[in-house]
Amino acid sequence: MASDAKEWGLLAEFENPAAIYHACERVRDAGFKKWDAHTPFPVHGLDDAMGLDRSKLPYVVLVMGLTGACLAMLLQWWVSAVEYQMVISAKPFFSWQAFVPITFELGVLFGALGSVFGMLGFNQLPKFHHPLFQSARFERVTDDRFFISIESTDVRYEPEGTAQFLASLGALAVERIGDPNAK
């Protein structure tokens, strides 16, 4: 169970979408959590084959959007009805109708910002480098090869056992990826 501290994890190469699809099902069923699939294009149904949970991003967007809308309404109320009262075309100081466009726009703006930065945050982006980029084999991920990577920090990870497991899934090759930060 003790994983080698200098090892980031394992990279397995697959030839086609069908191979990686079935391999993902096996990795999922083996109970691994810290792993990922890398493909040159979206493979239909891979989310289910990997057993991925729903993204938490929508909740970030919802909270941010509501925050933006509330802030906008609060700001306009404070400016128009409290701090600097001014009569505009004989309408009440707090005219909610007039505040709706800004409320809507700020809700959309905060929601959009939450969506972009939340996505970057969940993906741990931006980053300058990734251990997988050490592999020359991995360059074909943007072209015609399909990969599964399993990190050594996964509780089910065993340096030898996991490598054999990946090979048994029909991988063309299994490569050990060192941890560049461990030196």
Partner 1 sequence: MGEHHTSSLPTEPLLLPENHLIRKLPVIGAVLAVLGIGGALAFGGELRAFSYLTGYIFWLGVALGALFFVLVFNLARASWNIALRRIVENMAMTLPMLAVLFIPVLYFMGDLYHHWLHPEGDPILEGKAAYLNVTFFLVRTAMYFVFWCGMAWFFRKHSVDQDSDGDRQHTAKRQSFAAPGIAIFALTLTFASFDWIMSIDAHWFSTMFGVYYFAGANVAFYAVLAVILLWLTSTKRQKAVGGIDRVVSHQVMHGIIRADHLHDVGKMMFGFNIFWTYVTFSQYFLIWYSNIPEETLWFAHHFENGWETSFWVLGFGHFLFPFLFLISRNVKRSRLGLLAGAAWLLLMHGIDMQWLVMPMASHGGVHAHFGVTTAEILSFIGVGGAFVGTWGYYMCKSSLVPIKDPYLKESMSYEVALS
Residue 146: partners with Cβ closer than 8 Å, 6 or more residues away: 13, 14, 15, 16, 17, 19, 20, 37, 38, 39, 40, 43
- Verify binding: residue 172, partner 1, rule CB under 8 A: no
- Give the nearest distance from C-beta 111 to partner 1 in angstroms: 12
Peptide bond into 126 cis (omega under 30): yes
Query: Considering only CA atoms, which of 121, 123, 118 is closest in space to residue 67?
Result: 118
Site for partner 1 in 81-110 (CB under 8 A): 89-90, 97-98, 100-101
- Verify binding: residue 43, partner 1, rule CB under 8 A: yes
Among 5-13, 38-46, 71-79, 165-173, the segment contacting partner 1 (CB under 8 A): 38-46
Residue 18 structure tokens? 């069908």
* Pairwise CA distance, residues 75 & 94, whole Å: 11
Q: Considering only residues 30, 62, 82, 182, which one is a binding residue for partner 1 as defined by CB under 8 A?
A: 62
Q: Is the Cβ of residue 20 or residue 163 nearer to partner 1 in the bound state?
A: 20
Residue 153: partners with Cβ closer than 8 Å, 6 or more residues away: 3, 9, 34
Question: What is residue 158's three-state secondary structure?
Answer: coil
Size of the residue set binding partner 1 (CB under 8 A) = 21
Among 46-54, 71-79, 105-113, 126-134, the segment contacting partner 1 (CB under 8 A): 46-54
Q: What is the binding site for partner 1 (CB under 8 A)?
A: 17-18, 21, 42-45, 47-48, 52, 54-55, 57-58, 62, 89-90, 97-98, 100-101
